[in-house]
């Protein structure tokens, strides 16, 4: 289903069930204004351009005007001007990521879409806002999940899995929720005086979609953690250049014939401590793939594993 079809079907249901909320949806801005918005934010995906060609957000009550509901589950659809304002504001007020290293911002931007960045990225294009300041964004970074819809929290940044794989999928899931009355994002659609309101689901037995089974990685010993800020200059550390070479060699062996490049880590000093894990990001034929290296405690020897795209991993210790 294309986004346009998904949007039109949802608008039809919205007009039938919540006409006040449907009437609050603004017509799209001219193409020139949409192109200007793209220029000052980040390159949009084709689906994003299609999305903003269908509407210009929803009207918000001013002063004593009546409440008009929200198009998405507790998220109001943003007009183009607010998208630009929110994008600029979030770029200027980033979450603290100093503990991840000086290069983390650049590395996060080179992660594939859907990966957690712990901060706002220019590649996140907001399109809906919650009353508490949280946003729904489209992740325009590269990779197989480019264009996924994710929530960006004012307090917790992007530390949740994406909501949907695409805008079309997200819009259609909201339509299904409104049509059937089933919960969406833990909220149940309710129509009050023609407005769409999303209430908390208090059911003791909410319907849950099972999460995909994680990839099982067997290790000969348990993982341990460390705090980069507590490493002293005299501490025994591994040679990250040697480990990087091991990671790249492993990537090449797993992807014979591919162009393997890069290999960056968020850490600059790692103790020679058995069980310490370090994430690495490798470019394989132009796509960023995550790897993890686990320190064995013997010289610069590490155990290296490629991580699945969705990051769902369960470590099993065979010791």
What's the structural domain count of the chain?
Answer: 2
Is residue 207 predicted with pLDDT exceeding 60? no
Say if 208 falls within a structural domain. no
Q: Using 50, 70 and 90 to split pLDDT, how confident is the model at 235? A: confident
Per-residue pLDDT tens over the stretch 152-178: 886 677 777 888 999 999 999 999 999
Per-residue pLDDT tens over the stretch 129-141: 987 788 999 999 8
Name which of 155, 135, 27, 31 is nearest 74 in CA terms: 135
**In this structure, are 232 and 195 located in the same domain?**
no
CATH number of the domain that residue 17 is part of: 3.40.1580.10
Q: Give percent of the chain above pLDDT 70.
A: 88
**In this structure, are 195 and 232 located in the same domain?**
no
Say if 130 falls within a structural domain. yes
Say if 62 falls within a structural domain. yes
Say if 32 falls within a structural domain. yes
| The overall pTM is greater than 0.95 | no
**In this structure, are 246 and 187 located in the same domain?**
no
Q: Crossing angle of helices 167-180/3-17, nearest 10°?
A: 30
Say if 184 falls within a structural domain. yes
**In this structure, are 131 and 272 located in the same domain?**
no
Is residue 211 predicted with pLDDT exceeding 60? no
Say if 30 falls within a structural domain. yes
What's residue 97's pLDDT?
A: 60
The boundaries of the domain holding residue 157 are 3-200
**In this structure, are 101 and 172 located in the same domain?**
yes
| Alpha-carbon distances, residue 313 vs 47, 172, 218 (angstroms) | 30, 29, 10
**In this structure, are 196 and 230 located in the same domain?**
no
**In this structure, are 116 and 143 located in the same domain?**
yes
**In this structure, are 126 and 27 located in the same domain?**
yes
Q: Using 50, 70 and 90 to split pLDDT, how confident is the model at 29? A: very high
**In this structure, are 77 and 31 located in the same domain?**
yes
**In this structure, are 60 and 188 located in the same domain?**
yes
**In this structure, are 137 and 8 located in the same domain?**
yes
Max CA-CA distance within the chain?
Answer: 70
């Amino acid at each position: 289903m294309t986004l346009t079809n998904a949007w039109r079907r949802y608008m039809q249901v919205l007009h039938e069930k919540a006409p006040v909320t449907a009437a609050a949806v603004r017509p799209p801005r001219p193409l020139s204004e949409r192109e200007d918005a793209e220029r000052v934010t980040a390159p949009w995906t084709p689906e994003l351009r299609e999305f903003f060609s269908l509407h210009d957000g929803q009207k918000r009550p001013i002063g004593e005007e009546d409440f008009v509901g929200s198009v998405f589950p507790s998220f109001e659809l943003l007009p183009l001007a607010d998208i630009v304002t929110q994008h600029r504001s979030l770029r200027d007020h980033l979450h603290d990521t100093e503990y991840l290293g000086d290069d983390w911002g650049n590395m996060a931007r080179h992660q594939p879409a859907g990966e957690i960045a712990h901060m706002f990225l220019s590649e996140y294009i907001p399109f809906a806002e919650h009353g508490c300041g949280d946003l729904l964004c489209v992740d325009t970074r590269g990779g197989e999940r480019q264009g996924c819809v994710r929530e960006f929290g004012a307090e917790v940044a992007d530390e949740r899995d994406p909501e949907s794989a695409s805008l079309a999928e997200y819009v259609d899931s909201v339509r299904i929720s409104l049509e059937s009355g089933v919960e969406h994002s833990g909220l149940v659609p309710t129509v009050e005086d023609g407005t769409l309101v999303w209430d908390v689901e208090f059911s003791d037995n909410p319907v849950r979609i099972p999460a995909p089974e994680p990839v099982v990685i067997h290790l000969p010993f348990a993982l341990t953690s460390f705090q980069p800020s507590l490493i002293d200059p005299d501490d025994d550390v591994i040679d990250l250049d040697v480990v990087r070479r091991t990671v790249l060699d492993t990537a090449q062996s797993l992807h014979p014939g591919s162009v393997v490049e890069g290999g960056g880590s968020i850490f600059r000093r790692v103790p020679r401590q058995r069980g310490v894990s370090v994430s690495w990001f490798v470019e394989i034929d132009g796509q960023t793939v995550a790897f993890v290296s686990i320190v064995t405690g013997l010289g610069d020897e590490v155990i290296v594993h490629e991580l699945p795209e969705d990051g769902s991993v369960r470590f099993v210790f065979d010791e």
